[in-house]
C-alpha cells in the first residue's frame, strides 16, 4: 500500500540526517495521500541507520489507527494528524529537535524575521506556541500539541504555506510543505535562520528588518509576479 509515498517519506527522513538536523532518533517526517485519507510516517524510536521504505507506517487520517506496518508509528503521530486535519494545503510534515530552533522554543520566543534569508522562506516571524496546561500534557499530550499549533496559526491569522513552520514552547520545531521533501527543506532552513537570529541578537539585541524588505524578498520568490529562479520563459 502507498509504495511511492513510503519511498518519498523514507528519503525525507534520511535527508534530515544528511543535513545534520537530527541525531539518534530525534525527529520524524510524514506525508499524506489525501485521496485515500492515509498518512505515512516514520516508526517510533527506530534508528535512521538502515531504515527502508518498508519500515514506514501507514495511519488512517481520521481514526488515527495503524493500517499497515510492523512498527508502532512515531509518538508524534497525533500531532501530525491534527495539522493535516486542520490545513488541507499541507502535504508533508517534519519534526526535529534541531539545536537553535529548540533554543527559541525553550526560551518561549518567536524566531524573528531579521534578514532576507529568513524572508525568502518565511513571511514574517516564526511563532512560538503558548505553553500547554498541566491537564493538556497529562491527557492527550500529542493531540493537544497539534491543537496548540493550529490554535496559534489561526489566532495570528497566518497562512500556513506563507509561514511553513512553528516552534512549540519547551519542545521544538514543526515544519510543513506541499510534500514530505519540502517539509524537510523548511526544517533545515528554519534551523539555519534560527542560528543566524541568535548570533544577530547577541551582536545587537535591537536588530530588526523593515517590513518592506521582508515583503520584497518573500514576494520575489512566492508572490504572483515572482521572478526568482529559472521560471517559464
Question: Beta-strand (E) ranges in 88-140?
Answer: 92-96
Q: Return d(Cα 161, Cα 120) in angstroms, integer.
A: 13
| Residue where the block lists cell 521572478 | 227
Which residues does residue 40 pair with via DSSP β-bridges, in sequence order?
31, 58
Residue 160: closest CA among 141, 170, 174: 174
Asked about 84 being catalytic, the answer comes back as no
| Residue where the block lists cell 495503524 | 66
In this structure, is the dihedral angle defined by the CA atoms of residues 68, 74, 77 and 78, taken in order, positive or negative?
positive
Burial class (CB in 10 A: 0-12, 13-18, 19+), 224: exposed
Asked about 120 being catalytic, the answer comes back as yes
- Of the listed 60, 110, 120, 215, which one is catalytic? 120
- Of the listed 24, 141, 159, 228, which one is catalytic? 228
Burial 37-60 (b: 16+ CB within 10 A, else e): ebbbbbbeebebeebebebbbbbe
- Contacts by residues 138-144 (CB-CB < 8 Å, ≥ 24 positions apart): 140/78, 142/75, 142/76, 142/77, 142/78, 142/79, 143/78, 143/79, 143/81, 143/82
As annotated, the active-site residues are 120, 228
Amino acid at each position: 500500500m502507498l509504495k511511492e509515498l513510503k519511498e518519498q517519506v523514507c528519503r525525507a527522513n534520511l535527508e534530515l540526517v544528511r543535513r545534520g538536523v537530527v541525531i539518534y532518533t530525534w525527529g520524524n517526517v510524514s506525508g499524506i495521500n489525501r485521496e485515500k485519507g492515509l498518512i505515512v510516517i516514520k516508526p517510533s524510536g527506530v534508528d535512521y541507520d538502515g531504515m527502508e521504505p518498508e519500515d514506514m507506517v501507514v495511519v488512517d487520517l481520521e481514526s488515527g489507527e495503524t493500517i499497515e506496518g510492523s512498527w508502532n508509528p512515531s509518538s508524534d503521530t497525533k500531532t501530525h494528524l491534527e495539522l493535516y486535519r486542520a490545513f488541507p494545503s499541507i502535504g508533508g510534515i517534519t519534526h526535529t529537535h534541531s539545536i537553535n530552533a529548540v533554543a527559541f522554543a525553550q526560551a518561549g520566543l518567536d524566531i524573528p524575521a531579521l534578514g532576507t534569508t529568513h524572508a525568502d522562506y518565511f513571511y514574517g516571524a516564526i511563532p512560538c506556541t503558548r505553553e500547554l496546561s498541566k491537564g493538556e500534557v497529562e491527557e492527550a499530550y500529542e493531540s493537544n500539541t497539534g491543537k496548540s499549533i493550529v490554535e496559534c496559526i489561526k489566532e495570528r491569522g497566518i497562512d500556513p504555506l506563507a509561514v511553513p513552520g512553528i516552534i512549540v514552547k519547551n519542545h521544538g520545531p514543526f515544519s510543513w510543505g506541499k510534500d514530505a521533501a519540502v517539509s524537510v527543506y523548511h526544517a533545515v532552513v528554519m534551523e539555519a535562520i534560527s542560528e543566524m537570529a541568535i548570533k544577530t541578537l547577541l551582536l545587537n539585541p535591537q536588530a530588526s528588518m523593515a517590513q518592506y524588505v521582508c515583503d520584497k524578498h518573500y514576494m520575489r520568490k512566492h508572490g504572483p509576479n515572482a521572478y526568482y529562479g529559472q521560471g517559464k520563459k
